[in-house]
Amino acid sequence: MNLFEYRGGRLWCEQQQVADLAARFDTPLYVYSAGTLQAHYERFRAAFAALDPLICYSIKCCSNVHILRRLAGWGSGFDVVSGGELCRALQAGAGPAKFVFAGVGKTVAEMQAALRAGVGLLNVESESEMAELVAVAGALGLTADVAVRLNPDVDAKTHPYTTTGTQENKFGVGPEQARELFHAYRATPAVRLRGLHLHIGSPVHDVQPYVAAIERALDLIATLRCDGSDVDTLDIGGGFGAHYRGGEAPPAEAYAAALVPLLHGRGLRVILEPGRSIAANAGLLVTRVLHVKDSGRRRFAIVDASMNELIRPALYSAYHFVWPLDAGARIPADFRGDQPFAGLETYDVVGPICESSDFLAKDRPLPPVRRGDLLAVFTCGAYAMSMASQYNSRPRAAEVLVEGDVVQLIRRRETYVDLLRAEEVG
């Protein structure tokens, strides 16, 4: 479900016409729908309600603090992976007991910050990290609640860059090593070993890899309990899909139907870390066509958004549906770009950056595009702004949040002063 829709051939976000937002805030512009965000969060929560889980929204997918405040207000905790994300989570107002801190390379300063803040769970990914955490917690006189991240060696069949649960990947430790860690640190006062963490990849469009990974984790938990550990927590991570083309992502209820029976009644507190499934379809990127040109082989729509604002096509060959804001009568009701109809032309939609990887869409059927037209790049609520850069010294774009007919600027457009601020050092 999302609250972006064409009415009378014009794109609306809730009760705001998206073209009006572009006129008011300029382009490129990220537009988020608060209603969509909330609906996705609530639907996910309801699907897994039988487990009474702790939902820790994964900040890395869309980290604007105004969005985090909304999520905190709806009861969400946060999955953080850096001191910066911890800082955002604390600003957002959810209690730190609802934070989980993952990541293969936590620094001493980040461990100290997490421990001082009272983060609910630190997900430890190596023996080296565990030893350091014990030293850091010991020096502070604090006890860290810890889950060991299990690498279950399950292939989630995502893009190779976003698969995280096989032995090829840097994440977590295998079951034997996890058992050794529990054995070695069970009686160490500076850490309380609470359980296991998993995160197998993103997006995972099949429930089967989750089932396989969780079964391995449950087997290991049974062994750890036999060994004498009080395991009470299983964090199954995120990775749940979102629709880019439409139809590819199982609904929250389908993941829940497979996973709830596996996890129910095990004496475990279950933690979930969804990101994309909550945020992706709650946002889009609006861009203006600067020029149209034809190389003889390809027709290019050169737009003012770029790999700065959306790096996913360049990095993962990701598909994002692109369509004019003002589609006139030309768009069939459920059109998602896959069934070209009469009158379309094929374009590469590209940005101004000096790289041939700077494209938002390739070989895309579009109504004839003219200079000045506004285009929407859909499904940009996750891993778009949060992966944005200033490459080519282009200030980052603004973000607005729409709720009904109310519009809130939640991040102003950066300026050239912002570009240079951190370089004012001497």
Binding residues for ligand LLP, rule: CB under 6 A, are 58, 60-61, 79, 102, 162, 199, 202-203, 237-240, 273-277, 312, 316, 382-383
* Shortest Å, Cβ 5 to ligand LLP: 24
Question: Is residue 226 annotated as a catalytic residue, yes or no?
Answer: no
At its nearest, how many Å lie between ligand LLP and the CB of residue 259? 14
CA-nearest of 172, 117, 207 to 100 is 117
Q: What is the residue whose two structure tokens read 């499934």? A: 277
Our CB check for ligand LLP shows the closer of 311 and 407 to be: 311
Closer by beta carbon to ligand LLP, 14 or else 273:
273
Q: Which is nearer to ligand LLP, 278 or 302 (CB)?
A: 278
**Smallest distance, ligand LLP to C-beta of residue 274, A:** 5
Number of Cβ within 10 Å of residue 387's Cβ equals: 16
CB neighbourhood size of 392 (10 A): 14
- What's the CA gap between 264 and 253, in Å, rounded? 15
Residue nearest to ligand LLP according to CB distances in the complex: 275
Q: What pairing do the DSSP bridges indicate for beta strands 374-377 and 283-294?
A: antiparallel
Smallest gap from Cβ 339 to ligand LLP, in A, equals 25
Residue 214's nearest CA partner among 262, 252, 165 is 262
Cα–Cα distance, 50 to 46 (Å, whole number): 8
Q: Using only C-alpha atoms, what is the Rg of the chain?
A: 23
| Cβ distance to ligand LLP smaller for residue 48 or 240 | 240
Is residue 347 a contact partner of residue 369, using CB atoms and an 8 Å limit?
Answer: yes
Measured distance CA(4)–CA(193) in Å, rounded: 44
Closest CA to 351 of 387, 318, 377: 377
Specify the residue, 14 or 358, whose C-beta has the smaller distance to ligand LLP. 358
β 144-149/191-197 pair status: parallel
Contacts of 259 (CB under 8 A, 6+ apart): 48, 207, 210, 211, 214, 236
* Burial label, 69 (beta-carbon count in 10 A; 0-12, 13-18, 19+): middle
* Coil, strand or helix at 319: coil
Instruction: For residue 42, give the 3-state DSSP assignment.
Output: helix
Question: CB-wise, 277 or 308, nearer to ligand LLP?
Answer: 277
Report in angstroms how near the CB of residue 164 gets to ligand LLP at its nearest: 6
In angstroms, give the least distance from the CB of 395 to ligand LLP: 22
Going 338 to 325 to 17 to 244, the CA torsion angle's sign is positive
Between 170 and 412, CB nearer to ligand LLP:
170
* Shortest Å, Cβ 236 to ligand LLP: 9
Smallest gap from residue 275 Cβ to ligand LLP (A)? 3
Which CB atom, from 118 or from 160, has the smaller least distance to ligand LLP? 160
CB atoms within 10 A of CB 179: 17
Cβ-based neighbour number of residue 288 at 10 Å: 18
183-220: string of b/e by CB count within 10 Å (b at 16+)? eebeebebbbbbbbbbbbbbbbeebebbebbbebbbeb
Which of the residues 62, 87, 226, 354 is marked catalytic? 354
Question: Any idea which residues carry the catalytic annotation?
Answer: 354
